[in-house]
Amino acid sequence: MDDFKRRLIHLVHYPNITWNGIYKMLKKDPGLEKIYRLNHDEILSLISSEKNTFLIHSDFIFHETIHEQIRQYDSNQISVITIFDDEYPPLLKEIYQPPWALFAKGDLSLLEAEPKLAVVGTRQPTTYGRNAINTIFPELMNKGVLIVSGLAKGIDTLAHESAIKYGGKTIAVIAGGFYHLYPPENMNLAIQLMKNQLVLSEYPPDTKPLRWHFPSRNRIISGLSKGTFIIEAKRKSGSLITANFAVHEGRDVFSLPGNIYNPSSAGTNDLIQQGAKLITCAEDIIDEICT
């Protein structure tokens, strides 16, 4: 690891640092050669956050404990890929505010696999949603489509499990860090993915998941993928946030039509009215992302 990468990774660990804060530092000091010499006022002038937070933590950047954390990543089989590394996914670089670093555990070759399809949906799937996955996924896997989702309960879990069941590959993007996996009931699935698939986070491993981490990670789920497939979603759900990110990045949005009397189909039906492609079979997706 070269000195610049080490300094950038160190900076990502700074408590409550924002994307814009790192951008400002890189703009002012492209090599990050001065970060260990910044005084309190210089740090505050570069970081957009509450002053009290950074006054409390302003000496953190000099602290040896963070260096020790980073040194332990190798022994814990955690890789850190920065936006300046060749391994960083090209599609992800195209989004608004791409992560400065990705913390990764698992098969890094999956970052290069194409095409990728984001699959998200309700945390309370119906039999209809489950059957749709079992109908559509086998052919997607046969075509080498890699499934990206968020390890949440419901459709996310089914997407990861079904990708494996039908012989495919999958990437999970989590909120928070590896040492605080959420939800707890998906711990075994997460461990399985870390061994044979891939789990990603933009947050250092010791980061506890906060509420705003979840919508933030959705931009990564859609950003990694050529298209986003929504399977059952209520209006104003997190899944629609993912679809919105995909739209703004010019990616395809696919939606499973549903019963007009089922609230879990209200969001997906709205997406179709707004221009998302209605999906009835795997070929509807394959025709768009596998060409």
Q: What pLDDT, on the 0 to 100 scale, is given for residue 53?
A: 44
Q: How many residues does the chain have?
A: 291
Does the model's pTM come out above 0.95?
no
Q: How far is CA 34 from the centre of its chain?
A: 30
Q: What pLDDT, on the 0 to 100 scale, is given for residue 50?
A: 45
Q: Which domain holds residue 25?
A: 3-72
What pLDDT band is residue 51 in, cutting at 50, 70 and 90? very low
**Where is the domain boundary, 46, 72, 98?**
72
Bridge partners (DSSP) listed for residue 116: 146
What pLDDT band is residue 289 in, cutting at 50, 70 and 90? very high
For the chain, give me the number of helices (H) and strands (E)?
13, 9
138 with 247, same domain: the answer is: yes
Contact between 252 and 277 under an 8 Å Cβ cutoff? The reply is: yes
Q: What pLDDT, on the 0 to 100 scale, is given for residue 25?
A: 87
Contact between 172 and 160 under an 8 Å Cβ cutoff? The reply is: yes
Average pLDDT estimate for 89-95: 97
Average pLDDT estimate for 11-18: 82
Closest CA to 201 of 145, 142, 150, 236: 150
18 with 162, same domain: the answer is: no
223 with 267, same domain: the answer is: yes
Q: What pLDDT, on the 0 to 100 scale, is given for residue 68?
A: 80
Q: Report yes or no on 83 lying in a domain.
A: no
Based on C-alpha coordinates, what's the Rg of the chain?
Answer: 20
What pLDDT band is residue 52 in, cutting at 50, 70 and 90? very low
Domains held by the chain: number = 2
Q: What percent of the chain has pLDDT over 90?
A: 75
CATH number of the structural domain spanning residue 264:
3.40.50.450
